[in-house]
Amino acid sequence: MNKPINKTHAWKKLASHYRWHKNDEMKDLFAKDKTRSSKYTINLGNLYLDYSKNKINEKTIRYLLDLTKEVKLKEKIEAMFSGAKINQTENRSVLHVALRNRSNTPIYVDGQDIMPDINGVLNKIKKFTEAVRFGDFRGATGKKLTNIVNIGIGGSDLGPFMATAALKEYWAKDMKCYFISNIDGSACEDVFAEVDPETTLFVVVSKTFTTIETLTNAHTCRKWLVDALGEPAVAKHFVAVSTNAEEVSKFGINTDNMFEFWNFVGGRYSMWSAVGLSIALMIGMDNFEKMLDGAHEMDMHFKNTDFEHNIPVILALLGVWYNNFFGYREQGIIPYDQDLRFLPKYLQQLDMESNGKSVDLNNNFIKYETGPILFGGAGTDVQHSFFQLLHQGTKIVPLDLIVPAISHNEIGEHHEILIANALAQGEALMRGKTVKEAAEELTKAGKSKEEVNRLKKYKSFAGNRPTNTIIIRKVDPYMLGMLVAMYEHKVFVQGIIWNINSFDQMGVELGKQMALSILPELQGHAHIEHDSSTGNLIAIIKKIRK
């Protein structure tokens, strides 16, 4: 049984250290140490993490590293990579790392090496994607399938959606990709308006093939296809990513076109598996494998590098430092790249579904903060939405600024302006602007003394707001793999420190269960007692719908 983290010796040292250093100014730390930037920069190939703009010193890092010893982080990492059943509540191994195990070293679950099965599915994906892309697997009327529609929800949607958008520069030139996840019928209709049934391939992603949102959308798409091309067309226009061959067959999908994945892969970690079929279809298997290669390089870095120079570990420790000691409950992810605009949405699920927990592994309710609220968006767009709060608001939000050094579209000065904005935000959030500096600036601009006194506080910035800057060479499959794996391991480390299971998601169940009881009432088939508010809302909606 693990001791509560807030009762450990390392935690108490950090609490004392925080009290002494919570008011340290980062700009003073830079002034005192000209080597600070190089001291707090780590790289792995063409991925660089500069974490010097944080409220830390050498003792902070030392005490945070002591925390990893108290929670036996090294042993927990080894346990995950070895196939131990670290998902305790569901008694499962956690082996998304096996899906991109490019060195192909044996990994055992219940005494069986799982790598042959994983390689078998990858080979099956390769054959199928090549058949579709080269026109050997065609639709019912003989036309090439050029519209890929992924039907899933949660991890069966967010990962493929994010990755295909991020890697749009690598799409087959004659193919397009669409995603249906929301149960709102508009999600289906929007896609139907864009695609031709003769050239459309639907990829239905559901492990059990019973997920109500996914199967409702899949049946709507099936009807649309059958109305246009007839019942036999289903086998030529639908494939499944699932483990339930019986239900897949009942739907009309040829089980030869069913792609398997496993219980040791959680939904939000599944885009590396057959769940990534739509990614492979769009970018080609060679590029999909490069994405796996990049993730594997980050896996090996995480597993084998000392924690002081370990990128995911450092990111995780900084997050704990702010979340649990400074009380900064939010985390911002700001990619300065249009193609990465959906990365924050993807990471929301990865982080908040993994570590949004209030019961520890000792089966006790937790009395300290766990996972942060994560949000973000693409720079420079978000500079004109929520950055006002980040610079001058009363809440302090640590940020990750993700900056590709090279753009796929180097048009004029666009990318240099984009990079300048990214670097300026980090510097401005750290340096700020004092009231005195604001007054001097206003005076130089020719403002009267009265105007200076009136405006100087409004024009001041507190500064001392932390950022990590993550430089990558370019958004390509390899680098995307590294980047996503980096965040996966960061989330894992924080879960270990908070002594929670990062790999179940029981919090999504209650609302779904209650929806199933409300549905018959909306349809007029049943009546169940609810609280007065819910009962009244059901009545209002039924009245309007009549």
CA atoms of 452 and 440, how far apart (whole Å): 8
Q: Exposed, middle or buried, 174 (CB in 10 Å: 0-12/13-18/19+)?
A: exposed
Count Cα neighbours of 346 within 13 Å in the Cβ-side half-sphere: 29
The predicted model gives 43-67 an average pLDDT of: 98
CATH class, 108-289 region: alpha beta
CA atoms of 321 and 331, how far apart (whole Å): 12
Which listed residue (198, 213, 297, 353) is catalytic?
353
* Catalytic status, residue 384: yes
Q: The sheet that has 330-335: what strands, in order across it?
A: 41-44, 47-50, 467-472, 399-404, 330-335, 373-376
* Bridge partners (DSSP) listed for residue 87: 92
CA atoms of 348 and 321, how far apart (whole Å): 20
Note whether 270 and 241 are within 8 A (CB). Answer: no
Place of tokens 């226009």: 237
The residue type at 511: G
CA atoms of 257 and 255, how far apart (whole Å): 5
Q: Parse the chain into domains and list their residue ranges.
A: 5-70+307-417+472-502, 108-289, 509-545
CA atoms of 500 and 87, how far apart (whole Å): 10
Q: What pLDDT sits at residue 3?
A: 78
Between β-strands 147-151 and 112-113, what pairing exists: parallel, antiparallel or unpaired?
unpaired
Which listed residue (74, 512, 527, 542) is catalytic?
512
Instruction: Report the predicted TM-score, pTM, of the whole model to 2 decimal places.
Output: 0.97
CA atoms of 490 and 484, how far apart (whole Å): 10
Show the CA angle centred on residue 284, arms to residues 280 and 290, nearest 5°: 85
Query: What is the separation of C-alpha 150 from the centre of its chain, rounded to a whole number of angstroms?
Result: 18
Residues in CB range of 75: below 8 A, 6 or more apart: none
Between β-strands 467-472 and 47-50, what pairing exists: parallel, antiparallel or unpaired?
antiparallel
- pLDDT > 70 fraction of the chain, expressed in percent and rounded: 100
Place of tokens 């809440």: 395
Q: Which pair of structure tokens corresponds to residue 413?
A: 């000065």
Q: What pLDDT sits at residue 368?
A: 96
Show the CA angle centred on residue 544, arms to residues 543 and 546, nearest 5°: 70
Segment 259-285, tens digit of pLDDT: 999 999 999 999 999 999 999 999 999
CATH of domain 5-70+307-417+472-502: 3.40.50.10490
Confidence band of 546 (pLDDT split at 50, 70, 90): confident
Q: Which pair of structure tokens corresponds to residue 465?
A: 């707001």
Residues in CB range of 293: below 8 A, 6 or more apart: 100, 102, 478, 481
Q: What pLDDT sits at residue 525?
A: 82
Segment 201-239, tens digit of pLDDT: 999 999 999 999 999 999 999 999 999 999 999 999 999
Lowest mean pLDDT among 4-13, 100-109, 258-267, 516-525: 516-525
Segment 140-172, tens digit of pLDDT: 999 999 999 999 999 999 999 999 999 999 999
Q: 328 or 1, which is more confident?
A: 328
Which listed residue (34, 384, 543, 546) is catalytic?
384
CA atoms of 122 and 285, how far apart (whole Å): 9
Confidence band of 517 (pLDDT split at 50, 70, 90): confident
Confidence band of 1 (pLDDT split at 50, 70, 90): low
Q: How far is CA 169 from CA 179, 459, 534, in A?
A: 18, 41, 47
Note whether 467 and 401 are within 8 A (CB). Answer: yes
Q: Which pair of structure tokens corresponds to residue 432?
A: 């700020």
The DSSP element (H or E) to which 42 belongs, if any, is strand 41-44
Residues in CB range of 285: below 8 A, 6 or more apart: 125, 126, 129, 130
CA atoms of 119 and 106, how far apart (whole Å): 12
* Catalytic status, residue 353: yes
Segment 90-135, tens digit of pLDDT: 999 999 999 999 999 999 999 999 999 999 999 999 999 999 999 9
Q: What pLDDT sits at residue 529?
A: 87
Topology agreement, domain 5-70+307-417+472-502 and domain 108-289 = yes
Beta strands per DSSP E along 82-208: 108-109, 112-113, 147-151, 176-180, 200-205
CA atoms of 133 and 287, how far apart (whole Å): 13
